[in-house]
Structure 1
Amino acid sequence: MSRSVSLAVNGRTDIGQIREENEDAITWFAHPDQPFAYVVVADGMGGYSGGALASRIAIQTISLCFSQLITPTFLACTPEQQKLMIQSAVRSGIHKANLSIIEAKAENPDFSHMGTTVVLSVVWQDQLTVAHVGDSRAYHWSLKGLTQLTRDHSVVQEMIDAGTLTEEEARTSDVRNHITRALGVQEDVEPDLKTYRLTESALLMLCSDGLTEYFDNAELQHVLATHRPALECCYRLIDDANHSGGRDNISVGMLEVTVGPNQSVAPVISVPSGQGEDTTVRRNQPRFGE
């Protein structure tokens, strides 16, 4: 049975302190009548305005797929069918965005090196779907702590996995911007995609690496746990990243999920640090809040 869910969403992108152009793009939406919302963040690359074009193509193409999702047919389906339809829309949006970027590259030689990361979260009732390509990230925060929902497709992540680099060293590594998967590079791109069931009120945060360059998971958790109103965390985090140097473009999207009539995301003064990558509360059962 689906739980009563209300959703609110906000986002911001910023050029930072060094770059001459903002190659990030972000979009978000909350349905006025249905418990449906999403956030999409893309971090472009390629110079000559190519990165900005690639990220813009990504968010526009994916948003178009999502805009066609909530139909009478969808609403009449079972929760399991709806989950599969959302996953199909996510994969279709990413696939179409990838091909559109490749087509744009073919039309203009100046864009031959462009591409983009993408990370997205879609909430329908108590279902959360997360997908990503590249090193832009999604996080889930509740009163139980912070969970990083995505694992970077990057050279430094592979080095961390191999034990040759720590997460702290990765943030200053010379190859920290080298990603191993992106839109616009090959005709076939496979996103990492997972669906969860939301069982308690939470914050979902999506961001480009212009933010995570400066914050580890414990620092992100502290801001999400203590800063209110919750949706204004996106402004606070971007301002903090700029004060720390702002070497890259910075984008943050926030989706606030309130589950049940009497539950809300309340501030906490002290919570345990959440590092780690585990996306489940029980092994092999991707649910939150049990």
Structure 2
Amino acid sequence: MEPIRLAVNGRTDIGQVRDENEDSIRCHSDPDHPFAYIVVADGMGGYSGGATASDIAADTLQGELDKLLDTPFLTCSRERQHIMLRTALVEGIGICNRKILETKKTRPQFSQMGTTLVAAAIWMDFLIVAHIGDSRAYLWNDYGLQRLTRDHSVVQEMIDAGQLTAEQAQTSQVRNHITRALGISEPVEATVNSWTLTESALLLLCSDGLTEYIDDHTIERVLATYRPALECVYHFIDDANRRGGRDNISAGIIEFCNRPEAVTEFSGDPITLQPKATHDITVRKSRR
């Protein structure tokens, strides 16, 4: 098995309209082990409530993931490591939820706060993604772009039920409504999926401030074109701001390289990818 190289980059931006950034992002790549993660939280509630909720979620989950690489983890079997990573992610999300709920009880001014969350971690060639709400994760490799998450939103449920098309969802009166979030009730249910990575790839996590303006076709084009690949986060945020920037915008990328030539591929000259037709939906949350 080729040595695995992981690198990360992330950025959050207030956008062009809002007075406060309610997004939070945490990125980490371990210098000694093939371990990396990104956490993106998109808060809601206004008047600093959303920022507080997203900070609690991002800080808490970061702390739980940072504790993972101890001696028991490093010395156990690969299968056991996968279980431990999943457990850390799921239990960490539960802790995030309880902390937000506890804060709401002690700070009545934040009674309406909550946050979406999307988190991804890679250990060696094992990728795990958990999400709540409409912040998303994507994977891009030589085969194209794959969306790894399905929005927890009213319009997505209507699309799944055949009651709405993707095009109609873009102008739906309920397109801002999410169906799951941290800080609403106990317990919280995250969607968790995992994959084994066999090809070098780019993993993108983002808040809906990005996907409000940039569809899957454009995401694929940017990830396939710009090098160094980690600088795509700046292109994404700049593009969203140029197109209106009505929401806060967050994007984080993990480079996963499992062959030597991929390091040059992701850091060197642009490559071209023939785009495929996609149908995308755009959703945003109700903030107030």
Counterpart in the other structure of 2:225: 226
Residues in 2 aligned to 1:35 and 1:107: alpha-carbon distance in whole angstroms: 40
Residues in 2 aligned to 1:236 and 1:160: alpha-carbon distance in whole angstroms: 30
Counterpart in the other structure of 2:203: 204
For the residue of structure 1 that corresponds to 2:262, the secondary structure is coil
* Counterpart selection for 2:274 from 260, 271, 275: 271
- Aligned length in residues: 276
**Can you give the 5+ residue segments of structure 1 that lack an aligned partner in the other structure?**
278-290
Give, in angstroms, the shift of residue 167 of structure 1: 2.4
For the residue of structure 2 that corresponds to 1:140, the secondary structure is strand
Q: Deviations over 1:90-147 (max 9, x none)?
A: 0111000000000000011111110000001100000001000000000000011000
Counterpart in the other structure of 1:80: 79
Identity %: 57
TM-score by length of 2: 0.92
For the residue of structure 2 that corresponds to 1:269, the secondary structure is coil
Residues in 1 aligned to 2:217 and 2:92: alpha-carbon distance in whole angstroms: 32
Give, in angstroms, the shift of residue 276 of structure 1: 7.5
Residue 58 of structure 2 is aligned to residue 46 of structure 1 = no
Residues in 2 aligned to 1:73 and 1:273: alpha-carbon distance in whole angstroms: 45
For the residue of structure 1 that corresponds to 2:260, the secondary structure is coil
- Whether contact under 8 Å (1:145, 1:274) holds in the other structure is no
Residues in 2 aligned to 1:169 and 1:230: alpha-carbon distance in whole angstroms: 33
Give, in angstroms, the shift of residue 195 of structure 1: 1.1
Q: Which amino acid aligns with 1:177?
A: N
Q: Which amino acid aligns with 1:5?
A: I
Counterpart in the other structure of 1:281: none
TM-score by length of 1: 0.92
Residues in 2 aligned to 1:271 and 1:24: alpha-carbon distance in whole angstroms: 33
Counterpart in the other structure of 2:91: 92
Give, in angstroms, the shift of residue 174 of structure 1: 2.9
Distance 1:216 1:98, change over 3 A: same
Counterpart in the other structure of 2:240: 241
- Whether contact under 8 Å (2:221, 2:275) holds in the other structure is no
Residues in 2 aligned to 1:24 and 1:192: alpha-carbon distance in whole angstroms: 20
- 1:109-124 correspondence to structure 2 within 5 Å: 109-124=108-123
- 1:4-43 correspondence to structure 2 within 5 Å: 4-43=3-42
Residues in 2 aligned to 1:58 and 1:123: alpha-carbon distance in whole angstroms: 19
Q: Which amino acid aligns with 2:252?
A: G
Q: Deviations over 1:210-266 (max 9, x none)?
A: 011112211110111001110011110010001000111100001111112333445
Residues in 1 aligned to 2:235 and 2:10: alpha-carbon distance in whole angstroms: 11
Counterpart in the other structure of 1:288: none
Give, in angstroms, the shift of residue 208 of structure 1: 0.3
Give, in angstroms, the shift of residue 199 of structure 1: 0.7
Distance 1:66 1:268, change over 3 A: same
Q: Which amino acid aligns with 1:273?
A: K
Q: Which amino acid aligns with 2:236?
A: L
RMSD of aligned residue pairs (Cα, Å): 1.5
**Can you give the 5+ residue segments of structure 2 that lack an aligned partner in the other structure?**
281-288
Residue 162 of structure 2 is aligned to residue 167 of structure 1 = no
Residue 132 of structure 2 is aligned to residue 133 of structure 1 = yes
Residues in 1 aligned to 2:210 and 2:169: alpha-carbon distance in whole angstroms: 14
Residues in 2 aligned to 1:112 and 1:19: alpha-carbon distance in whole angstroms: 21
Distance 1:11 1:171, change over 3 A: farther
- Whether contact under 8 Å (2:15, 2:245) holds in the other structure is yes
- Whether contact under 8 Å (1:137, 1:149) holds in the other structure is yes
Q: Which amino acid aligns with 1:260?
A: R
Distance 1:213 1:62, change over 3 A: same
- Whether contact under 8 Å (1:11, 1:27) holds in the other structure is yes
Residue 73 of structure 2 is aligned to residue 70 of structure 1 = no
